[in-house]
Amino acid sequence: MDAKIVKKEEPEFGNLKPYVISPQDFSASTYRTETLYYYEDKVLADSDGERIDKPTKLVGTEALNSFGKYNQDDCVYVRDDELAIDYEIILIHDNYIDHHRTKDYIVGDDGDDDIY
């Protein structure tokens, strides 16, 4: 009789790579949490709107293709045991550049920033 190989969905504690977790695991976690935003043009940004370089290094390769995995089309949860952090990644149905249009700032003679 051939042995059946069963692949675990969630790795054991101490995994060095980030991995997708369930909403229940996220809610019950004792890790610190951070919310990130993933845009339609494949840009990952932090809660301040700053682009994240090398997003797969931060949240793993599986995460950004896992929206809808737990019946949540616009959200996925990721755990990084090495950093003791859980990420909530929210899908934004807009392009990053359209969502974060910048304003022009001019520094006046008085040292204050004026918005034009």
pLDDT tens, position by position, 56-109: 999 998 999 999 999 889 999 999 999 999 999 999 999 998 887 754 444 445
pLDDT of res. 3: 52
Taking the whole predicted model, whether its pTM rises above 0.85 is answered as no
Residue of higher predicted confidence among 44 and 110: 44
Per the listing, tokens 């910048």 go with: 102
Spatial distance between the Cα atoms of 83 and 81, rounded to a whole number of angstroms: 5
User: Residue 102, class by beta-carbon neighbours within 10 Å (0-12 exposed, 13-18 middle, 19+ buried)?
Assistant: exposed
Closest CA to 82 of 14, 28, 10, 9: 14
The pairing of beta strand 85-92 with beta strand 113-115: unpaired
Spatial distance between the Cα atoms of 113 and 90, rounded to a whole number of angstroms: 32
Mean pLDDT, rounded, of the chain: 82
Portion of the chain with pLDDT greater than 90, in percent = 62
Residue of higher predicted confidence among 106 and 50: 50
**How many helices and strands in the chain, by DSSP H and E?**
3, 7
Altogether, the residues listed in the chain come to a count of 116
pLDDT of res. 100: 78
